[in-house]
Structure 1
Amino acid sequence: MRAPTEQAAQQDPSAERKRKQKEKNAKNHKARKAVADRVAVLEELAEQWPLTVEQAVELAELQPKVAQRKQKRKEKNAKDYQARKAAAARVAELEALKEQGR
């Protein structure tokens, strides 16, 4: 008996591609989270006592990556919010027009 994913792959050729993309996304997410966690640990250590040279170099390399990722997420969230707001305004406008037509 075949696993459900194998059956899906036979039925839909794009299923295997989707599965691989999902795995890749999960791997990338895990890597980004590990970097963010490491920055948090190093920053916490820096508050308690001076970092070693290696730790300071590592922190200096990782902080811009984390900051850039946070900024991108912030921009995407703002864009998504504006889109939802515009859609809600359009719905309200269409409902008002519908009421006027009655």
Structure 2
Amino acid sequence: MQKYEEELARTKQSLEETRTDLEETVGVAELLYEANRKLGTVIEYLLKQQGRLNDQDCNSFEAIFNLLLKQPESHDEHAVHGSSESEKQCENGHLDGAIDLS
């Protein structure tokens, strides 16, 4: 009987630890979801400010995806392999390999 009580106590302890881990995981997931939502709002605002996203089309993912598809291949190769021009842009305050939104 004592063996079963000890096993029950270990099982309860394990269950409590699992529950605590699950609650922490849910908290992190909620935090990531909220950060993702806010970041999406900021991206859509910036795209609207640049005129890249009209009021009818509020999907920033599609807008960015379309911009990437429209960029010339030579620009993509420089972004991947790097170049002295991109290094100069980085030194002048421009991001190396950034998406050209102009």
Q: TM-score, normalised by structure 2?
A: 0.45
**What is the TM-score normalised by the length of structure 1?**
0.45
| Higher Cα radius of gyration | 2
